[in-house]
């Protein structure tokens, strides 16, 4: 059920003396069983919780490359959503407790490809249902009874939708950016090709080389043709003595080289596959839902998000955004997302 966009400023507020509190740590969850039936036993969850105790809690999650460090803190650590989260910012950590954590099966402190026992072999398939139940266990550990809101972008938006579908009693509202109830077929095709590059490189003993190539391909799907034209001009410079070394390739290969510095190839495989495994019935979404669709997004077309909006039964607001940055808009369009989060 889609309604006209409106700003709701009636959410819970707590009278607080502005004082940022940052809690970082590892939560230990015992006997964690995946949706597939695989038993992981003990699972560690790396998290960051920023904001005063007793304030409304807001969970935030980004794409598969994002870490638990979403917030900018007064200690000087700048988060990947640092322009939006921090003292006095749109998601004001003097008023909210902002929670972010590392994905299960991923690249951070949460149990994943780097963990003891999984080095050199594939991590079990992880679904967004598994990520949702991991969050429920983390909330219980932190003593947070219910989230005021869950803001998710890209894969994080898929997790947010699944969390609301599985555990609606634990969240008040959703803000979902560039994510839907299923993956688009063309996006599945691109990601499958990326995983094949990594898999073949792992077989040859150099998974990082395949991951770098996968990242170069991914960058061409995240951004738009218009952004590339603006960045490189209409006539791309190609050296006559090496036609494969264009300015476009120099940019893409630099992104690939930077990516392998912090992403583990098997963590990438696990989370990329999790995106393609994601699916849910929109009718299971019963909490208020704010959707953001980027018109130029090649990975999550606006039409797919509109399909989700038309099928949910909860109050649903949808905004469409024009951005040269396509799927990466949630990391680049600071003004738009500041306004969106400030209305939470």
Respond yes or no: is residue 154 known to be catalytic.
yes
CA 324-151-122 angle, 5° bins: 85
Q: What are the distances in angstroms from CA 293 to CA 13, 184, 298, 319, 337?
A: 28, 14, 11, 6, 12
Pick the catalytic residue from 102, 323, 327, 328.
327
User: What pairs with residue 26 in β-bridges?
Assistant: 46
DSSP-derived 3-state class of residue 82: coil
Q: Are strands 39-50 and 289-294 parallel, antiparallel or unpaired?
A: unpaired
The single residue of 201, 297, 314, 328 carrying the catalytic annotation is 297
Question: Which of 65, 67, 133, 154 is the catalytic position?
Answer: 154
Instruction: Give the SS3 label for residue 164.
Output: helix
The reply to whether 297 belongs to the active site is yes
* Cβ–Cβ < 8 Å for 174, 280: no
Q: Distance (Å, rounded) from C-alpha 198 to C-alpha 123?
A: 14
Catalytic residues: 154, 297, 327
């Amino acid at each position: 059920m889609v309604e006209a966009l409106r700003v709701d400023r009636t959410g819970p507020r707590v009278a607080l003396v502005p004082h940022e509190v940052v809690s970082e740590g590892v939560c230990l969850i015992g006997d964690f069983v995946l949706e597939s039936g695989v038993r992981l036993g003990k699972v560690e969850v790396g998290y960051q919780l920023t904001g005063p105790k007793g304030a409304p809690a807001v969970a935030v999650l980004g794409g598969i490359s994002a870490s638990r460090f979403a917030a900018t803190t007064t200690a000087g650590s700048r988060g990947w959503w640092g322009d939006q989260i921090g003292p006095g910012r749109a998601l004001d950590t003097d008023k909210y407790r902002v929670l972010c954590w590392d994905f299960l099966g991923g690249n951070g402190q949460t149990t994943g490809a780097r963990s003891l026992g999984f080095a050199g072999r594939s991590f079990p398939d992880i679904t967004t249902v598994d990520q949702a139940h991991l969050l429920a266990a983390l909330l219980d550990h932190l003593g947070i009874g219910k989230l005021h809101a869950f803001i998710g972008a890209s894969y994080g938006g898929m997790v947010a939708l699944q969390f609301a579908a599985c555990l609606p009693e634990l969240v008040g509202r959703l803000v979902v950016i560039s994510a839907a109830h299923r993956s688009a077929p063309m996006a599945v095709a691109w990601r499958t090709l990326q995983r094949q590059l990594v898999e073949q490189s792992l077989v040859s003993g150099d998974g990082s080389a395949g991951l770098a190539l996968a990242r170069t391909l991914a960058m061409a799907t995240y951004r738009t043709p218009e952004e590339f034209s603006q960045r490189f001009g209409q006539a791309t410079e190609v050296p006559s003595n090496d036609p494969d070394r264009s300015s476009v390739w120099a940019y893409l290969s630099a992104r690939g080289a930077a990516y392998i510095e912090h992403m583990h190839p098997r963590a990438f495989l696990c989370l990329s596959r999790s995106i393609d495994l994601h699916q849910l019935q929109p009718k299971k979404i019963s909490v208020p839902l704010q959707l953001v669709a980027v018109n130029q997004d090649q990975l999550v077309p606006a039409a797919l998000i509109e399909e989700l909006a038309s099928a949910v039964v909860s109050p649903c607001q949808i905004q469409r955004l024009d951005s040269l940055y396509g799927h990466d808009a949630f990391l680049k369009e600071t003004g738009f997302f500041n306004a969106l989060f400030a209305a939470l």
